[in-house]
């Protein structure tokens, strides 16, 4: 994260208070030889706005247009004209939020938790993954976890050898880590499943059914006193559970082993929302508001430091996030027109405290 922040600090926002022709009121974006080139936002004299990609002054690639009366169109442009709609890729990270938290140096991990709230129900017709633990590392091993609309796995850690049938869980909680393929590193819940694979690099994962919907939840990582020896090294089991504030239900995803007798959580973490296992027209994507609050390390509140979001230029700007104190509000499912943006070569960087 520190390297990323240093890189971003060198990328100053570009603002041009004039357009390339009288119809253009202002432009914020990348240029080349005095022309709009790259990613940018144009405000027109008639009150309309275009946000997207340009080549030599012409709209080219993914872009969103908002008319003066608020009508929105997002799709693919070519030679300055709208050409077609857009199908989102598989998988697609609509939203990626990165942050550091204030962690007391050299304090062993006992637990790390986040409260999150979904303000809208999500239809079963979507394959949506919401990961409050979007990316983190324990003793140098990366992990991620959250909830999915459609999830499943295998009841046997040796499923690759025994050709165990796949078990569909429906809505579920999922907890995964990389750089491991041994079944001894997994403890499943009684009704849970697992997966050991190599299609995302070597990884293991535990999952369990959890019928989530609109509402408030707490999701937590918890270090146990269970130890296992793998590759002549002591490992410690870590579990992940989720709690519904509405129903009082608590569900454990299962447990996975991380190397070390004492475990330490790196303070650089992420949150993401992803659509997976399908590609659809952009307009046929879920619309959702979320909030992430009450970040706690070992049962004590921690402060969020330098929260940012990163959005690739070659995908629609279809997510947004804002930070107020230690609370993060996040949105997906609409075109979001940027007003405080830092430009990298391939992606827009949004400092969430700039709003």
Does 304 score more than 90 pLDDT? yes
Relative to beta strand 319-324, strand 327-332 is antiparallel
Beta-bridge mates of residue 68: none
Taking the CA of residue 252 as centre, how many other CA atoms within 13 Å lie in the half-sphere pointing to its CB? 13
Beta-bridge mates of residue 191: none
Quick check: bond before 91 cis, omega within 30?
yes
Does 3 score more than 50 pLDDT? no
In whole angstroms, give the CA distance from residue 11 to residue 9.
Answer: 6
The reported pLDDT for the residue numbered 1 is 53
The reported pLDDT for the residue numbered 21 is 67
Beta-bridge mates of residue 42: 27, 50
What is the average per-residue pLDDT within 238-256? 98
Which two three-digit tokens encode residue 40? 């940018």
What is the average per-residue pLDDT within 38-57? 95
The reported pLDDT for the residue numbered 161 is 74
Does 103 score more than 70 pLDDT? yes
CA angle (64, 65, 68) in 5-degree steps: 150
Place of tokens 């880590």: 177
pLDDT digits (tens, 9 = 90+) for 117-176: 999 999 999 999 999 999 999 999 999 999 999 999 999 999 877 788 999 999 999 999
Range in 2-16, 127-141, 192-206 with the lowest mean pLDDT: 2-16
In whole angstroms, give the CA distance from residue 77 to residue 88.
Answer: 15
The reported pLDDT for the residue numbered 206 is 98
How confident is residue 340, by pLDDT bands cut at 50, 70 and 90?
A: confident
Relative to beta strand 193-197, strand 288-297 is unpaired
Written out in words, the top-level CATH class of the domain with range 2-86 is alpha beta
Place of tokens 């709209």: 59
pLDDT digits (tens, 9 = 90+) for 254-285: 999 999 999 999 999 999 999 999 999 999 99
What is the average per-residue pLDDT within 231-238? 96
How confident is residue 355, by pLDDT bands cut at 50, 70 and 90?
A: low
Domain map (residue ranges) of the chain: 2-86, 92-302
Alpha helices in 112-206 (DSSP H): 159-162
- Compute the residue count for the chain: 355
pLDDT digits (tens, 9 = 90+) for 73-97: 999 999 999 999 999 999 999 999 9
Does 6 score more than 70 pLDDT? no
Q: Percentage of residues in the chain with pLDDT exceeding 90?
A: 86
Average pLDDT taken over every residue of the chain: 92
In whole angstroms, give the CA distance from residue 122 to residue 101.
Answer: 29
Three-state DSSP state, 142: strand
* CATH architecture of the domain with residue range 92-302: Sandwich (2.60)
The 8 Å CB, 24+ separation contacts for 14-23 are: 14/343, 19/44, 20/57
The reported pLDDT for the residue numbered 220 is 98
Q: How many CB atoms lie within 10 A of CB 171?
A: 17
What is the average per-residue pLDDT within 196-218? 95
In whole angstroms, give the CA distance from residue 312 to residue 240.
Answer: 30
The reported pLDDT for the residue numbered 247 is 97
């Amino acid at each position: 994260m520190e390297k990323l922040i240093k890189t971003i600090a060198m990328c100053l926002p570009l603002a041009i208070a004039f357009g390339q022709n009288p119809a253009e009121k202002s432009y914020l974006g990348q240029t080349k030889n005095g022309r709009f080139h790259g990613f940018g936002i144009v405000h027109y004299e008639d009150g309309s706005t275009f946000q997207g990609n340009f080549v030599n002054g012409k709209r080219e690639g993914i872009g969103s247009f908002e008319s003066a009366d608020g009508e929105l169109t997002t799709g693919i442009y070519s030679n300055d004209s709208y050409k077609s709609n857009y199908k989102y890729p598989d998988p697609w990270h609509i939203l990626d939020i990165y942050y550091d938290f204030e962690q007391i140096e050299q304090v062993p991990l006992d637990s790390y938790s986040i409260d999150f709230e979904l303000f809208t129900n999500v239809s079963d017709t979507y394959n949506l993954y919401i990961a409050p633990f979007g990316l983190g590392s324990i003793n140098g091993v990366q992990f991620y976890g959250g909830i999915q609309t459609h999830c499943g796995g295998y009841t046997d850690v040796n499923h690759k050898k025994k050709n165990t049938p796949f078990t569909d869980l429906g809505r579920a909680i999922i907890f995964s880590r990389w750089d491991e393929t041994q079944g001894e590193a997994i403890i499943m819940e009684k009704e849970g499943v697992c997966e050991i694979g190599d299609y995302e690099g070597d990884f293991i994962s535990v999952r369990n059914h959890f019928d989530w919907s609109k509402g408030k939840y707490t999701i937590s990582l918890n270090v146990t006193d269970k130890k296992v020896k793998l590759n002549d090294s002591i490992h410690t089991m870590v579990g992940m559970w989720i709690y519904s504030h509405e129903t009082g239900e608590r569900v454990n995803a299962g447990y996975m082993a991380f190397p070390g007798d004492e475990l330490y959580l790196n303070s650089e973490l992420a949150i993401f929302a992803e659509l997976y296992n399908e590609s659809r027209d952009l307009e046929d994507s879920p619309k959702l508001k979320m909030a992430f609050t009450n970040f706690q390390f070992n049962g004590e509140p921690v402060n969020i430091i330098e929260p940012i979001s990163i959005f690739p230029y070659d995908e629609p700007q279809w997510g947004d996030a804002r930070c107020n104190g230690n609370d993060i509000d996040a949105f997906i499912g609409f075109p979001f027109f940027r007003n405080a943006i830092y430009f990298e070569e391939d992606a827009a960087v949004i400092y969430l405290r700039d709003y």
